[in-house]
Chains A and B, each alone.
Chain A
Amino acid sequence: MPHRLRHYGALMKLSEKLAILADAAKYDASCSSSGGQKRDSLKTGGIGSNEGMGICHAYAPDGRCISLLKILLTNFCVYDCAYCINRRTSNVQRARFTVAEVVQLTMDFYRRNYIEGLFLSSGIIQSPDYTMEMLVQVARSLRVDHRFGGYIHLKTIPDASPELLSDAARWADRLSINVEMPTEGGLKALAPEKDLRDIRRAMGRLRMGIDEAKAEKKAPRFAPAGQSTQMIVGADASSDRDVLTSSTNLYANYKLKRVYYSAFSPIPDASKALPLRPPPLVREHRLYQADWLMRFYGFQVDEIAPANDSGMLDLDVDPKMAWALRHREQFPVDLNRAPKEMLLRVPGLGVRTVQRLLGMRVHRKLRYDDLVKLRVPVRKVAPFVATIDHRPRVDGESGALRHLDTTPRQADLFGH
């Protein structure tokens, strides 16, 4: 055995643990390493930097980014959440890392440039406080003993004491608490030991800590990259409207950086409480697009998932196109005159393209050919816009327009 690996104890054993505890962590969609305090190792002489922009160091064939070493400290758990492979009634093989093992693994992976840092979560063992204390020890050891400047994301246990939350926030860049289900009823049915009110109270405490640290320069560090959460989609009967209503509330109440949507995925040794079939992955994709439209394009839930409808997003076309098809009377949009807010509502025009068009039209009139040169998807955009040399045919029929958008490109949704 090479001497470098000796401090792990038996190598086989460590790699077995890693296999089990990485497998157990893969249902958490978040792998973001963006935001947070800028740091570099030139000042500390240690290892690790954070420049604010996340980096995805690899991609797995499931299309998800691998940015952080995403593992569980242990997959032993006293909770019995139906959707979770680690629930106490599951027959999954169990394992537990020591604090030192996680620290060493993180440092060794980081030095080889495999990862941006660590995303550590855990099953609940003994008590919420005991478990949280272990997670905090890992983060503290990385920062203090190893002068580690990379990214740390800790999954936070809502029932843990507020003091432990503050400790966690001192060492971690980001904290997250999963709301798991879009509705309180869904959570009660599938995760009997979890309580939405506890989760919300804990998120409220995190927001207060984050706000306070931002407002006062001298306040101790408190999760500078903010908090995020995850919702499982398709494990219960909640509609997309339920999901998006819940996210709107979470963004406003707790200033979350991100809400991650995770399409319920079949797990080995599944519980009887779950549906047999997973929802189509494109549903998750549509929810991310809708979330994006609400955060960066000025859309409201009622526009994206109208109350009088089924409450489900159209799987065939993206939500912006779906909105445009429901509101043909607002088009075509004159690219030379329309305000920015309206340009952002044109299917196929992104934030960056809109900026460019605005920058150009100060100096001269926009023509159809400009869209071609800017490489926008003209077939998709043309029916909705007018330029000095282009007006769409008025009889552009919705059915035909839908076909322009049947192959969604699966963007990188997990990186940043």
Chain B
Amino acid sequence: MRLVVLHDGSDLAEWRGQARALLAEDVLPSDVQWQVGERAGLLPAESSPAHQPLREAKPAGTVPREFLSLASTVLAHADARRHAVLYRLLWRLTHGERQLLHIASDDDVAWCEQAAKAVRRDMHKMKAFVRFREVAQPQGSVFIAWFEPSHDILPRVAPFFVRRFAGMHWSILTPTRSAHWNGETISFGAGAQKADAPNEDALEALWLTYFANIFNPARLKVQAMKNEMPVRYWKNMPEAALIPGLIRDASARMDAMVQRAPTQPKKHIPAPLPRQPSALPQGSLAELRLQAGQCRACPLWEPATQTVFGEGPDNAHIMVIGEQPGDQEDLAGRPFVGPAGQLFDQALAQAGVERSQLYVTNTVKHFKFEPRGKRRIHSRAHASEQSACRPWLLAEIQRVAPKTIVCLGAMAAQAIFGKNFRLLEQRGQWITLDNGIGAFATVHPSYLLRLPDERERGEAIAHFVRDLGMLRSLI
């Protein structure tokens, strides 16, 4: 039997040095006894003196990186068997079971995973449940906390407190170690006692007030609280002293609340002024826009954010009609602002046409989509939805009274020229409508965005720009 005495049972470097040396000498896990501290004398006579690792111990093969990170966490656990289990795990990893860490149901792996989980949980709870008390000192305040972790975690958690409270001087005292931050460096010292920490802080009264009042007596869930805030931590949390009283009185408070009849309001807070039809812009197109905002003629309004009405001068010479708004248009409440809108803007710029001179609108005024997690998949409006929206489009044409209409895409073209219109064949051809308006159709910019071949896309965009160029002289 080989006895190994560790000075610091939680220190990875020390355990690792010893373990490496044992591996190099082929010492079986069952032949090692691990101990922490200087109590070697208590052991049976056959044990050898504390083993000094060889400086140049040959590394016995490599181990997966996850093992070191697991070992480092497990070493902080309070269980005295941890060194032995870890050495056995290391032995097996280096003796034919390289994939062992993936076998989560293996006894040694499961034991270590459980231990690591307990340590991580304790660390998390320490970050949560440490309570500092302020002590005024001539050179400034110092914040001191007394905490009793279940495992040896202070060195692992202290960096968190440094990052969080860099601008403060603080100490955290535990039964086995203490940590001190002076605003510049962290230092670790011996364990302390509860009496070494301050026993009050005047501000705690406010914290207790908060704790008592944020509690809702109508929904008592004591076990849920205890699962997340185990009772063993309560003794060092000032607010915990309130818990029994809050639980005791909860049902009486709740009953009193439910039984009390609704009362007549005593104090009168005036109601807000009814919303102004906020500075209604003159002109009937603006009225139209407000009415369209309330439209429920088809079911598309419900899942959408808002109606996306046309935009532009109400006496524009040219009206551009697209198909339907997309994700971005729905959020912004404006037509042609998404990717297709940006391509449209670029094409207009190349064609030498000012967008601000155009009245731009869509055939359908609501975004239609299918929700997919955190995305919305565009879907094409049905004929019934298109026809529900038709009165708005016709009204826009009537109020703006453009000289020219440009339809982008088949949906818009068919809305203006009728069902038999064939976009690919009749694109770019001028057609005079019944009311004397000259009109033509071209592709929708979203079609251009979907073309996979870059060269093909470049040519299609150039064609689109040529079509739009016909507008230059008409503005």
Binary CB contact string for chain A from 162 to 196 against chain B (1 if under 8 A, 0 otherwise): 00000000000000000000001000000001000
Instruction: Tell me if B220 and A61 are in contact (CB < 8 A).
Output: yes
Instruction: Tell me if B104 and A265 are in contact (CB < 8 A).
Output: no
Is B214's CB within 8 Å of the partner chain A? yes
Instruction: Tell me if A26 and B127 are in contact (CB < 8 A).
Output: no
A and B contact pairs by CB, cutoff 8 A, 24 listed: A15-B206, A15-B209, A18-B209, A19-B213, A46-B167, A49-B163, A49-B164, A56-B128, A58-B129, A58-B237, A60-B214, A61-B243, A61-B247, A62-B219, A76-B269, A88-B269, A113-B145, A147-B167, A251-B374, A252-B376, A263-B219, A265-B218, A271-B262, A277-B258
Which listed residue (B143, B222, B227, B265) contacts A61, Cβ 8 A? B222
Binary CB contact string for chain B from 325 to 348 against chain A (1 if under 8 A, 0 otherwise): 000101111000000000000000
Which one of B22-30, B130-138, B457-465 contacts A?
Answer: B130-138
Interface size for A (C-beta < 8 A) is: 104
Write out the residue numbers on chain A whose beta carbons fall within 8 Å of the beta carbon of B128.
Answer: 55-58
In the assembled complex, the Cα of A372 lies from the Cα of B248 at a distance in Å of 39
Instruction: Tell me if A201 and B265 are in contact (CB < 8 A).
Output: no
Which listed residue (B218, B262, B303, B331) contacts A278, Cβ 8 A? B218
Instruction: Tell me if B203 and A5 are in contact (CB < 8 A).
Output: yes
Which listed residue (A22, A271, A415) contacts B213, Cβ 8 A? A22
Which listed residue (B104, B164, B328, B331) contacts A356, Cβ 8 A? B104
Is B305's CB within 8 Å of the partner chain A? yes
Shortest B289–chain A CB gap in Å is 14
Which listed residue (B162, B207, B214, B373) contacts A25, Cβ 8 A? B214
Write out the residue numbers on chain B whose beta carbons fall within 8 Å of the beta carbon of A58.
Answer: 128-129, 211, 229, 237, 239
Which listed residue (A42, A60, A111, A205) contacts B211, Cβ 8 A? A60
Is A48's CB within 8 Å of the partner chain B? yes
In the assembled complex, the Cα of A159 lies from the Cα of B361 at a distance in Å of 26
Instruction: Tell me if A63 and B219 are in contact (CB < 8 A).
Output: yes
Is B271's CB within 8 Å of the partner chain A? yes
Is B436's CB within 8 Å of the partner chain A? no
Instruction: Tell me if B214 and A204 are in contact (CB < 8 A).
Output: no
Instruction: Tell me if A253 and B254 are in contact (CB < 8 A).
Output: no
Q: Using a CB-CB cutoff of 8 Å, which residues 343-392 of chain A contact chain B?
A: 356, 359-360, 362-364, 369-370, 372-374
Instruction: Tell me if A363 and B214 are in contact (CB < 8 A).
Output: no
Knowing A91-B267, A263-B219, the reply to whether A65 touches B228 (Cβ < 8 A) is yes
In the assembled complex, the Cα of A109 lies from the Cα of B205 at a distance in Å of 11
Instruction: Tell me if B209 and A253 are in contact (CB < 8 A).
Output: no
Write out the residue numbers on chain A whose beta carbons fall within 8 Å of the beta carbon of B250.
Answer: 61
Instruction: Tell me if B202 and A4 are in contact (CB < 8 A).
Output: yes
Find the A residue at minimum CB distance from B207.
A114
In the assembled complex, the Cα of A294 lies from the Cα of B22 at a distance in Å of 51
Binary CB contact string for chain A from 112 to 127 against chain B (1 if under 8 A, 0 otherwise): 1110000000001000
Is A272's CB within 8 Å of the partner chain B? yes
Instruction: Tell me if B372 and A252 are in contact (CB < 8 A).
Output: yes
Question: Apart from A62-B220, A78-B269, what are 10 other A-B pairs with CB-CB below 8 Å?
Answer: A41-B163, A42-B163, A45-B166, A49-B163, A88-B271, A90-B265, A91-B266, A112-B204, A204-B331, A249-B303
Range of interface residues on chain B?
Answer: 35 or more
Is B430's CB within 8 Å of the partner chain A? no
Write out the residue numbers on chain A whose beta carbons fall within 8 Å of the beta carbon of B165.
Answer: 41, 47, 111
Instruction: Tell me if B375 and A252 are in contact (CB < 8 A).
Output: yes
Shortest B222–chain A CB gap in Å is 6
Shortest A160–chain B CB gap in Å is 14
Write out the residue numbers on chain A whose beta carbons fall within 8 Å of the beta carbon of B246.
Answer: 60-61
Instruction: Tell me if A374 and B105 are in contact (CB < 8 A).
Output: yes
Instruction: Tell me if A374 and B133 are in contact (CB < 8 A).
Output: no
Write out the residue numbers on chain A whose beta carbons fall within 8 Å of the beta carbon of B269.
Answer: 76-78, 88-89
Instruction: Tell me if B305 and A200 are in contact (CB < 8 A).
Output: yes
Instruction: Tell me if A59 and B229 are in contact (CB < 8 A).
Output: yes
Is A308's CB within 8 Å of the partner chain B? no
In the assembled complex, the Cα of A77 lies from the Cα of B136 at a distance in Å of 40
Instruction: Tell me if B206 and A200 are in contact (CB < 8 A).
Output: no
Instruction: Tell me if B219 and A91 are in contact (CB < 8 A).
Output: no
Write out the residue numbers on chain A whose beta carbons fall within 8 Å of the beta carbon of B223.
Answer: 63, 410
Instruction: Tell me if A276 and B258 are in contact (CB < 8 A).
Output: yes
Instruction: Tell me if B211 and A266 are in contact (CB < 8 A).
Output: no
Instruction: Tell me if B271 and A22 are in contact (CB < 8 A).
Output: no
Shortest A374–chain B CB gap in Å is 5
Instruction: Tell me if A26 and B132 are in contact (CB < 8 A).
Output: no
In the assembled complex, the Cα of A415 lies from the Cα of B103 at a distance in Å of 31
Is B432's CB within 8 Å of the partner chain A? no
Binary CB contact string for chain B from 365 to 383 against chain A (1 if under 8 A, 0 otherwise): 0000101111110000000
Shortest A288–chain B CB gap in Å is 12
Write out the residue numbers on chain B whose beta carbons fall within 8 Å of the beta carbon of A112.
Answer: 131-134, 143, 201, 203-204, 207
Q: Using a CB-CB cutoff of 8 Å, which residues 245-261 of chain B contact chain A?
A: 246-247, 250, 254, 257-258, 260
Is B394's CB within 8 Å of the partner chain A? no
Is B67's CB within 8 Å of the partner chain A? no
Instruction: Tell me if A66 and B214 are in contact (CB < 8 A).
Output: yes
In the assembled complex, the Cα of A25 lies from the Cα of B254 at a distance in Å of 17
Write out the residue numbers on chain B whose beta carbons fall within 8 Å of the beta carbon of A15.
Answer: 205-206, 209
Shortest B234–chain A CB gap in Å is 10
Is B140's CB within 8 Å of the partner chain A? no
Knowing A49-B164, A363-B99, the reply to whether A295 touches B220 (Cβ < 8 A) is no
Instruction: Tell me if A193 and B374 are in contact (CB < 8 A).
Output: no
Knowing A15-B209, A58-B237, A112-B133, the reply to whether A42 touches B166 (Cβ < 8 A) is yes
Write out the residue numbers on chain B whose beta carbons fall within 8 Å of the beta carbon of A57.
Answer: 128-129
In the assembled complex, the Cα of A64 lies from the Cα of B332 at a distance in Å of 36
Is B263's CB within 8 Å of the partner chain A? yes
Instruction: Tell me if B167 and A281 are in contact (CB < 8 A).
Output: no
Shortest A320–chain B CB gap in Å is 18
In the assembled complex, the Cα of A373 lies from the Cα of B124 at a distance in Å of 25
Q: Which of A45, A251, A271, A415 has most chain B Cβ within 10 Å? A: A251
Is A108's CB within 8 Å of the partner chain B? yes
Is B13's CB within 8 Å of the partner chain A? no
In the assembled complex, the Cα of A364 lies from the Cα of B143 at a distance in Å of 54
Knowing A47-B165, A69-B210, A360-B102, the reply to whether A253 touches B270 (Cβ < 8 A) is no
Find the A residue at minimum CB distance from B229.
A59
